[in-house]
Amino acid sequence: MGRVTTRVRRTRLDVVSGARVERTDTVAVEEPLEIRVDGISLTTTMRTPGDDFDLAIGHLLTEGLLHGADEVATLMHCTDLDESGSPTFNVVDVTLAPGAVLHRAPRERTQGMTSACGVCGSASVDAVRTSSRYAVAGDPLSLSAEVVAGLPDALRRQQPVFDRTGGVHAAGLATASGDLVHVREDVGRHNAVDKVVGAAARVGSLPLAGHVLVVSARASFEIIQKASVVGIPAVVAVGAPTSLAVDLAVDRGITLVAFTRHPSMSVYSRPDRLA
């Protein structure tokens, strides 16, 4: 598996004193990951190496291409090599289970995905609104406001790569009582969500009803879309929401909480789930 962090040289400048200090610094690794299904390339995204199988399955699920991890027979890293002849582990080949097929065509994109991408490059807004198979609006989830307000701090305590680099996002899947059952980090906030979804799907089944998705970044349309597709009824974000995120959360019946910093938060949809 590739490195999660690496060491680089940096020069620290103080514009007041004019001091110049040379030192090494730890930064998060960003490398491409190509996802193939039965040998056919579907997409390439920039990610932090690690939990690549979770990322591959999570991406296929949140894009609506698969309905469950049981539709996957095997996952393997291809033996791709860099210029020095060392393996890069930057290609994951997914083999579908007998009888399984992709349930929709891969999203048409006009460019490759970056670590900032969710649906960037999609050919049309209509292609973005992947229909969810789950009635998220009817999920009877009930949350304590105190528990919700504490979720970002709980997530932050499980971010070792951020502690070392300050350069990665995190996503977590929490129960209604506030227990984080899965946490993943990545340079891409959408990749972090896909990794969490993939981790949960590999040990259980969809939908992820009764759970809360916690993200260290803003609440974008793509984050709400991913939650909707896999049946998550609540999203809690440290940062701000976007207008489309609010619209989609209202439309799908997802509880959207943003600007979450204990002891306060802002609820943009379905506040009835918070006691």
What pLDDT score does 84 carry? 75
Spatial CB neighbours of 58, under 8 Å, sequence gap ≥ 6: 193, 194, 195, 196, 197, 198, 199, 201
CATH no. for 31-128: 3.10.20.10
Q: What is the pLDDT of residue 87?
A: 74
Per-residue model confidence (pLDDT) at position 115: 47
Residue positions annotated with a catalytic role: 117
For residue 230, give the nearest of 204, 250, 251 by alpha carbon. 204
| DSSP string for the chain | ---SEEEEEEEEE-TTT--EEEEEEEEE--EEEEEEETTEEEEEEEE-SS-HHHHHHHHHHHTTS-S-GGGEEEEEE---B-TTS-B---EEEEEEPTT---SSPPPPBSS---TT-SSTTBS-HHHH-PPPSS-GGG----B-HHHHHHHHHHHHTT-HHHHHHS--EEEEEE-TTS-EEEEEEESSHHHHHHHHHHHHHHHS-S--TT-EEEESS-B-HHHHHHHHHTT--EEEESSPBPHHHHHHHHHHT-EEEEEEETTEEEEEE-GGGB-
Q: What is the pLDDT at residue 127?
A: 47
The amino acid at 114: T
Residues β-bridged to residue 235: 213, 256
Encode the chain (275 residues) as per-residue pLDDT tens digits: 468 999 999 999 999 999 999 999 999 999 999 999 999 999 999 999 999 999 999 999 999 999 999 999 999 998 777 677 777 789 999 999 999 999 988 765 434 455 455 554 444 345 445 568 899 999 999 999 999 999 999 999 999 999 999 999 999 999 999 999 999 999 999 999 999 999 999 999 999 999 999 999 999 999 999 999 999 999 999 999 999 999 999 999 999 999 999 999 999 999 999 98
Spell out the domain ranges in the chain: 31-128, 136-273
Class of domain 136-273: alpha beta
pLDDT of residue 198: 98
Q: Dihedral sign, CA of 86, 89, 93, 94?
A: positive
Residue whose tokens read 């990951």:
33
State the pTM of this model: 0.90
**So what's the pLDDT on residue 83?**
72
